[in-house]
Amino acid sequence: MKKAYRVVLMLAFSAVIAGCQSMAVVSDNPMGKSDNSIKGFGLETVDFEFAAKKAVDEFLASPAATRSDGTRWRVAIGEVINDTTFNINTKSLTSRIRSSLIKSGKFTFSGFVGQDRTTFLNESQQLSKSKLVDQKSVAKGGTAQAPNLQLNGEIRQRNNVSGDRSKQSLEYEFDFTATDVVTGQIAFNTLIDIRKIGSNKNFAW
């Protein structure tokens, strides 16, 4: 009798806990529907791939992508702000964009200034002072080329809660801008949205 009573209690408790599963997070990213990655509120690889591809496709389709003199744009990646509630490495996004734009043949990227700057150029200039190095092979002063296009971006997040407070939605905005450094004019801008809806039981992060 006592054993049966305990078994019944355990079963009832298990049923209660099983009923407490949270609803799944649903994303409107079309690339995410066939993806088997973990579906949380945060931005995932498939979201960066989607945003980068859409931004690049739109940019390449715009008149701003092609210079009138036929030369390639010299690009520096500037400020890319993560204004969300998740710790995001924005290079997940900018690396994809850089790779696609270089492959198009219309863009080169600066290693001298901006997010992609390295110390290599300065270090190689020091080689001009070394007697061990063949000076004909060393880059001469005044040869580095300044960028003429700057890419900036921001990832923003808006939070909304349903009227009955059972669901929350996170709306991400990827905001990209390309600015002609010589004229100071914005040559291109696009806004890409991704929306995720899920349970309001916990804070999304």
Partner 1 sequence: MNIYHLRSITLTSAIAVTVVLSGCAATRTVDPAASKAYLDTSNYKAIASKYIKDGKPTYNKESLLDTLEAAKAFNDAGLWKDSRDAFEIASKGLAWKADTVDTPGEIANLIGTTLTSSAFGAYQGKIYEGGLIDYYQAINSIMLGDESAARVDFNRFDIRMINAQQQFAAYRREVSKEVGKDTKNPQATTFNQSYKQIQTQIDGGISGIQSKRPDAMIRNSAGQFMSGIFRATSSSSQEKTADRVIRPIDNAQQAAATKQGVDLSIKTASQLRKSKFKSTGKVYVIYEDGVGPSFTEFRVDLPLFVVSDKVTYSGIALPRFMPGKPAFGYLNVAGDQTAEMTNITNIAGMDFSVAYPGIVTKAITSTIIKTAAQYAANTAIDRETKDNQLLGALMKLGVGVAQAATTKADTRVWANLPNSIQVAVIDRPVSGVLTVNSPSGSKLVDVILPSALDSLLYLKASGSSGIPAAYVKALPTGN
Binding footprint of partner 1 on the chain (CB under 8 A): 1-2, 13, 16-17, 20, 79, 81-87, 154, 157, 159, 165, 200-203, 205
Q: Which CB atom, from 72 or from 195, has the smaller least distance to partner 1? A: 195
Supply the minimum distance, in Å, between the C-beta of residue 77 and partner 1. 15
**CA 98 → CA 48, 75, 177, distances in Å?**
13, 9, 14
Supply the minimum distance, in Å, between the C-beta of residue 165 and partner 1. 8
Q: Which CB atom, from 5 or from 142, has the smaller least distance to partner 1? A: 5
Max Cα distance, the chain (Å): 96
Q: Which CB atom, from 9 or from 133, has the smaller least distance to partner 1? A: 9
Question: In a 10 Å sphere around its CB, with 0-12 CB exposed, 13-18 middle and 19+ buried, how is residue 203 labelled?
Answer: exposed
Supply the minimum distance, in Å, between the C-beta of residue 139 and partner 1. 29
Q: Which CB atom, from 85 or from 125, has the smaller least distance to partner 1? A: 85
Q: Which long-range contacts (CB under 8 A, 24 or more apart) does 113-117 make?
A: 113/76, 113/146, 113/147, 114/76, 114/77, 114/78, 114/147, 114/150, 115/76, 115/77, 115/78, 115/80, 115/91, 116/76, 116/77
Q: Which CB atom, from 84 or from 107, has the smaller least distance to partner 1? A: 84
Supply the minimum distance, in Å, between the C-beta of residue 50 and partner 1. 22
CA-to-CA distance for 52 and 187, rounded, in angstroms? 18
Supply the minimum distance, in Å, between the C-beta of residue 143 and partner 1. 29
